[in-house]
Amino acid sequence: MTLRLPPQPGEWIDRATPVNFTFEGQAYTGYAGDSVTSALWGAGERVLGRSFKYHRPRGLMSLANHDINVMLEDGTAINMRGDVLPLARGMELRAVNTLGGLKGDKYAVLEWMAPLLPAGFYYKAFHKPKALFPFWENVIRRMAGLGVMNPQAPRGEAIKQHRHCDVLVIGAGPAGLSAALTAAKKGVRVILADENARIGGTLGYDHAGQPTALETLARLQSEVASHPNIELLPAHYAAGWYTDHLVPLVGPSGMIKVRAGKVVVAMGAFEQPAVFRNNDLPGVMLGSASQRLIHRYAVKPFQRAVVLAGNDQAQRVVMDLHQAGVEVVAYVDLRPDADCTVIRQLGIPIYLGNCVQEALGKHAVEGVRISRWDGQGHPDPDTSMTIACDGVAVSVGWAPAAALLYQSGCKMRFDDAAQQFVPERLAPGMFAAGRVNGIYGLEAALEDGERAAREALGLATGVARAAETGSSHPWPIVPHTANKNFLDFDEDLQLKDFETAAQESFDNIELMKRFTTVGMGPSQGKHSNMNAIRVLARLRGEPIPKVGSTTARPFFHPVPLGHLAGRTFHPERRTPMHDWHAAHGATFATVGVWQRPAYYGTDKAKAVEAEVKAVRHAVGMIDVSTLGKFEVHGPQAGELLERFYTGHFVNQRVGTTRYALLLDEAGVMLDDGIVARLSNDCYYVTASTSNAATVYREMTRRLQTWGLEATIVNLTGSYGGLNLAGPHSQSLLKLLTDLDLAALANGGVAEGMVAGVQARVINVRFVAELAYEIHAPAQDIARIWLALEEAGRSVGLKPFGTDTQRLLRLEMGHFIIGQDTDGLTNPLEAGLQWVLANDKPFYLGQRSLKLLAEKPVSKRLVGFMLEAPPATLPDECCLVLRAGKIVGRLTSIAQSPTLGQVIGLAYVASEDAAPGSRITIRHQNGRDVVATVVPTPFIGVAP
């Protein structure tokens, strides 16, 4: 049976393009422009989904983008809503959340168990006996949730874009269109977004039998489309509002992050369901849903309809149904005194002051039972009568789509006359127009849009006109002894669940939400919160403003995870020699943002041992381009360094280097490096790889606060460096430079040509007794590297990586800040009194160290050797014990190939710091290991 109407003016479907698809294994045909839901409904299907908890058959409810009755999966994507999913050729769709298919869903048995599953049942049931809980947990977990994820699904590419505009208008109904045009005509850049595939809002479907709305729509559409200042984004919903007007618009292909100067929220209102028994039966739908079916998709919603009215819009629905050829068999108005002149002329039976008590039928509406009532939830059973029909259109009230207003900090108030929340005080830069303000009439909405835009542009000040009355009924809720009168369709919550919650004292709005889970389903309360608030207010005997509403958080609408996921960009920095390392088999390690060779080869132990051997007996070379490198210029450059680091630098001779230790104000060690004085007013400073950015940042800040005459130039990226270490390093380097290397002994620095490149050569002793760091501009450093590599072959030069470097420095007895120190370590514990120039008036941390120096130092960092190394070495961070008490920890440990001993650094009690003391280390296996404290450096003190 097909329910397609003859062509309707303004319809969205393209009748020339039929589209074949399958649903639950059965073939269907719709048209291009259809949504899946409209195509199925048009094909005469009624059961399109199953409810979340009781697996009740569901049809369509709102057909307005937030209808969760119809949720689909296609084997790749899950939980696609049928009312927004555009029909496409060859789709193979299934309903989510069924066992054995939609028609014969075996989980439907749960409905018979409903009395055992009241709201909050999972807080109470199945916990006893305890032994059975894992069984129940397994059952519940299998049944809970929606859709089955396919881990093999191909990764989709969701594009992210950024846009800027002066005014962002969200919602392209009459108010939004009017606001956008008003703003655009004043010359500002406007983005107009709407979640629907086509703009127009109510103009596109709420015709009330009059085609004039379409003329207005056509005029506005062409004005908007032709205006150069307006960017139109249909099929994009605003997912949330973030500080300073950042609004992500989510569309079919990705996300557009809009930074707006001002935001006009013209998102309209959600039509609200009425609460009566079986109000979820397929065939019961919102009045606006039936209008959308007719005007957008040319689908006849029913053959014989009952219209349940509670507001003035219901009669517009009657007129549209009537014009579409639907026989309206009854107009049932909750109000006793509605003016029904128009529909009376159509000859439709009118029942004023009546309610629908229940919908009848098993899988679809077959009739309704109505009765007189007092308008307050008390039907008079003596007057009840049954009317046969195949559909119920419900038009009783609205709730504003105010989520973005709430998120921006707007204060809302409940307007008693309009029975709707409306903005009371908007956040700066936020404006509201149309139905969110409670303004429903077409002319009034157009005017309100213009007003909002003028206010946004600062051309007018004032307030929105008063909200209109007559759009929302204060109590569209009918109790029923047999229940199944649903307030929340997402979570299958019945009226009695709220009464239960209140009885159990969960009668605060936030508590009730959590106990009943109202508004926590996929539509986030868009169709349930208003009625829930009404019920709670009545249960508490308080007015609605006292009950309040829950917080609306992003997202306004479920956003596919693929739209949120990043594109797995992983920025990394590479040194100028990176390609050489890769070509020579380096295994890379990530050090901060840098890629550095850890060692060369694939067998770590063997590679490190060979590299250590080369450095100790011949020569090795490591890429140190990642070091922080700064030049400090100016007459007070030395003064800056003297305050920044612990040592003396003003009196430092040109051509020398000094150790630089950086403390924070509490005296904790932050970083170390060297300071080389290149000339009277120029110092060259290095910092460790991982702290380079922080040291530069801190130095520039101190330079400002101290107001010194100096300049800091960050050369970290523009200079590269390498370290040539080992007994042959000097003779090898001599082959490539005329610099007097012998004069550089004991930490000298010189500038000159190395391998034809202008470079800085520094004598350092971090990894070996004899070693040179060579720094040169990043574009040149590789030439030095290659020249050394070539010249060094005959003397056994090997490149080495960071793993080897760590071992080499340990053999040298050097600690690494961050490895052998932590966020509390001070230089007194690390044995660095010699670098504290306390004769200076000031350096960072000095005052705190003065305080610390007055107290005994409880632990000290020392070198140790294991007496009888176990097969598995103790891990770093193993505890050091003294008489059963924790006194420190092990910070570095390694088998030294040079010494044939296991060496390391550890914090020990001060009493045990002298060489020769024996210390106890608690191995991770629980046994104690004994070590001897030895002087550092380790090499040169062979046992």
Partner 1 sequence: MKLLTCPINGPRPLEEFAYGGEIREMPDPQTCSDSAWADYVFHRDGAPGPKREWWYHVPSGTWLVAERDTASDVVSRTYLLGEA
What residues make contact with partner 1 under the rule CB under 8 A?
242-244, 246, 259, 665-666, 696-697, 700-701, 704-705, 707, 714, 841-842, 846-848, 851
Burial class (CB in 10 A: 0-12, 13-18, 19+), 828: middle
Calpha distance 218→456 (Å, rounded): 26
Q: How far is CA 602 from CA 201, 597, 616, in A?
A: 64, 11, 22
Minimum CB separation from partner 1 for residue 163, in Å?
14
Which of 247/939 has CB closer to partner 1?
Answer: 247
Which of 378/701 has CB closer to partner 1?
Answer: 701
Minimum CB separation from partner 1 for residue 630, in Å?
12
**At a CB cut-off of 8 Å and minimum separation 6, what does 40 contact?**
23, 28, 30, 48, 70, 82
Q: Please work out, in degrees rounded to the nearest 5, the angle formed at the alpha carbon of residue 376 by the alpha carbons of 371 and 380.
A: 30
Minimum CB separation from partner 1 for residue 566, in Å?
13
- Residues 51 and 63: beta-carbon distance below 8 Å: no
Minimum CB separation from partner 1 for residue 835, in Å?
19
Beta strands of 82-139 (E only): which ranges? Answer: 92-95
Which of 193/699 has CB closer to partner 1?
Answer: 699
Minimum CB separation from partner 1 for residue 357, in Å?
51
Minimum CB separation from partner 1 for residue 261, in Å?
11
H-run or E-run covering 662: strand 657-663
- Residues 645 and 619: beta-carbon distance below 8 Å: no
Tokens of 348: 């439709």
Minimum CB separation from partner 1 for residue 259, in Å?
8
Tokens of 467: 């909200």
Q: How far is CA 14 from CA 10, 11, 89, 300, 506, in A?
A: 11, 8, 13, 17, 51
Which of 89/164 has CB closer to partner 1?
Answer: 164
Calpha distance 256→249 (Å, rounded): 5
Which of 539/666 has CB closer to partner 1?
Answer: 666
- Residues 625 and 576: beta-carbon distance below 8 Å: yes
Which of 208/246 has CB closer to partner 1?
Answer: 246
Minimum CB separation from partner 1 for residue 705, in Å?
7
Minimum CB separation from partner 1 for residue 428, in Å?
9
Amino acid 511 reads L
Q: How far is CA 143 from CA 54, 55, 106, in A?
A: 11, 11, 12
Which of 425/653 has CB closer to partner 1?
Answer: 425
Which of 409/585 has CB closer to partner 1?
Answer: 409
Q: Please work out, in degrees rounded to the nearest 5, the angle formed at the alpha carbon of residue 518 by the alpha carbons of 424 and 510.
A: 55
Which of 186/259 has CB closer to partner 1?
Answer: 259
Calpha distance 409→191 (Å, rounded): 22
Q: Is 224 helix (H, G, I), strand (E, B) or coil?
A: helix
Rg (CA), the chain: 38
Which of 130/855 has CB closer to partner 1?
Answer: 855
Torsion angle of alpha carbons 157, 158, 162, 168, nearest 10°? 160
Closest CA to 935 of 920, 921, 914, 919: 914
Which of 259/304 has CB closer to partner 1?
Answer: 259
Which of 151/707 has CB closer to partner 1?
Answer: 707
Minimum CB separation from partner 1 for residue 825, in Å?
16
Of how many residues is the chain composed? 943
Minimum CB separation from partner 1 for residue 570, in Å?
17
Minimum CB separation from partner 1 for residue 455, in Å?
21
Which of 89/697 has CB closer to partner 1?
Answer: 697
Calpha distance 98→103 (Å, rounded): 9
Beta-ladder partners of 930: 920
Which of 164/344 has CB closer to partner 1?
Answer: 164
Q: How far is CA 208 from CA 202, 265, 292, 443, 905, in A?
A: 11, 26, 12, 15, 85
Tokens of 437: 């303000």
Minimum CB separation from partner 1 for residue 714, in Å?
7
Minimum CB separation from partner 1 for residue 698, in Å?
9
- Residues 287 and 206: beta-carbon distance below 8 Å: no
DSSP-derived letter for residue 535 is H
